[in-house]
Amino acid sequence: MTNPQSLPEPDLPAPAPPAIRTHPAAPRAPLVATPTAGASRKIAIAVDLSEESAFAVRWAVQNYLRPGDAVVLLHVRPTSVLYGADWGAVSSQPADHVSGEESEKLESDFDSLTTTKVGDLAQPLVEADFPFKIHIVKDHDMKERLCLEVERLRLSAMIMGSRGFGAARRASKARLGSVSDYCVHHCICPVVVVRFPEEEGGRKGVAEEVGEEGELELHPVPEEEEDLEDTDASDEHKDL
């Protein structure tokens, strides 16, 4: 007795592939190149809108910056508009008598004026074709905030004037050079303090010297310790 021949099984349909759901790609913001991206060094120049700061920018262009560097113009704006930079306060009206609407307008005007002034300081960078950006923050303590921003922005070095920051000095009654002195001792990066030239007799001179052919000449700053006042005003009158 022979075994019945087994019949071939019918072909089964192949299993359907798993469903794949596709979602439309989320819109992506266009990539915008920042002026300091890819720079070999990012150098901060602390500015307070004074003549000393303007000189520090010009000095940096001619004596410190090199090809491949990018610059951050770092400005700490006081939290009160009643204390402006060396070009004067925005308003002399007491803060207690300023309404909320007037205060907002003062803040807006001060911000616009600050940005314009810092932009003017950047002109030597534009002429020398150094990439830069303006970084403005608000704080009541300029010294600590400068050091904080240097660390947060991971800057390679900071350049600043030795006798600037006049309005903040008058407001806080700090002694001459206290801001630059604090930054020298507390910043995590090297700090270059630029001396503002003085004329004979101790009177503050202009920030630029014109050569015989009418070209701008800036002389390197001598490396010596910064002159600070030996005593505060209170100590001067202690024995009176």
For residue 93, give the nearest of 81, 101, 104 by alpha carbon: 81
Q: What digits encode the pLDDT tens for the residues 103-158?
A: 666 666 666 667 778 888 899 999 999 999 999 898 888 899 999 999 999 999 99
Q: What is the pLDDT of residue 221?
A: 40
What band does 98 get if pLDDT is binned at 50, 70 and 90? low
Q: What single-letter DSSP state applies at residue 86?
A: T
3-class secondary structure, 196: coil
Q: Do 61 and 128 touch, CB atoms closer than 8 A?
A: yes
Distance of CA 149 to the CA centre of its chain: 8
Residue whose tokens read 């022979």: 2
Mean pLDDT of the chain: 68
Q: What digits encode the pLDDT tens for the residues 189-210?
A: 999 999 888 633 444 433 333 3
Using alpha carbons only, how large is the chain's radius of gyration in Å? 30
Q: What is the pLDDT of residue 190?
A: 96
Question: 21: which residues sit within 8 A by CB, 6+ positions away?
Answer: none
Superfamily (CATH) of domain 41-207: HUPs (3.40.50.620)
Q: Where are the beta strands (DSSP E) in 88-156?
A: 132-138
What band does 168 get if pLDDT is binned at 50, 70 and 90? very low
Distance of CA 167 to the CA centre of its chain: 18
Q: What sign results for the dihedral spanned by CA atoms 124, 129, 135, 136?
A: positive
**What percentage of the chain carries pLDDT values higher than 90?**
29
Q: What is the pLDDT of residue 158?
A: 97
